[in-house]
Structure 1
């Protein structure tokens, strides 16, 4: 876990060497979490959790962000009272080269397909 997690306001994140492929693959397996990952990948900044408009309850949104954080897919930090989010693309690319890019490309292709 990161040192920030030891302080009162930090959030627990796995260190790079603790990130497991199974967790990384599981995290975007839910449509809402995949949507969050896609939106974060398209951002140049670190948006707050409240910036995401998802068709689920606030507690469910919190759950999805926790799964993404605990799997090592996103990093969350507090700025004031806001919880800011960013993809851990550097860590994921170092551990699993190209995986994040392939997942995002596949998600874009799926989103472009006509609904059945």
Structure 2
């Protein structure tokens, strides 16, 4: 019998609410760099990296509309930069640091270090 995935806290995702993510080997440098090139998406990644855990979309305040936030999170998810899962009605986000470091060693740390000195990111 197939196992139902469980979150770290033991909660099971709602049926039909699983989101598509690329496998580690399918994450491309082009997609990651495109995702990280936008200041709002880079801001999300910085906050997730600083937190080190999971944050909901509403935990990270972005000065854009809700639909634009949804777009930014989708780009980050589809590029393989973050993993999103539903916890009840909240969409939780976690940086895919291990996958990114395995595919592109040092890239994420280099981008985050450079972004610390960039206004607006």
TM-score (norm 2): 0.84
The one of 13, 17, 30 equivalent to 2:25 is 17
Give the Cα–Cα distance (whole angstroms) in 2 for the partners of residues 27 and 101 of structure 1.
15
- Over the aligned positions, Cα root-mean-square deviation in angstroms equals 1.7
Query: Could you tell me which residue of structure 1 aligns to residue 79 of structure 2?
Result: 71
Aligned residue pair count: 108
Pairing 1:9-88 to 2, within 5 Å after superposition: 9-88=17-96
Measured after TM superposition, the shift of residue 45 of structure 1 is: 2.4
Among 96, 101, 112, which residue is 1:104 paired with? 112
Structure 2 counterpart of 1:114? none
Q: Normalising by structure 1, what TM-score?
A: 0.88
Deviating runs (4+, > 3 A) in structure 1? none
* Structure with greater proportional helix content: 1
Aligned to 1:90: 98
Q: What is the Cα deviation at residue 110 of structure 1? A: 2.1
Residue aligned with 2:84, SS: strand
Question: 3-state SS of the aligned residue for 1:28?
Answer: helix
Q: Which runs of 5+ in 1 are unaligned?
A: 112-116
Q: CA deviation at 1:28?
A: 1.1
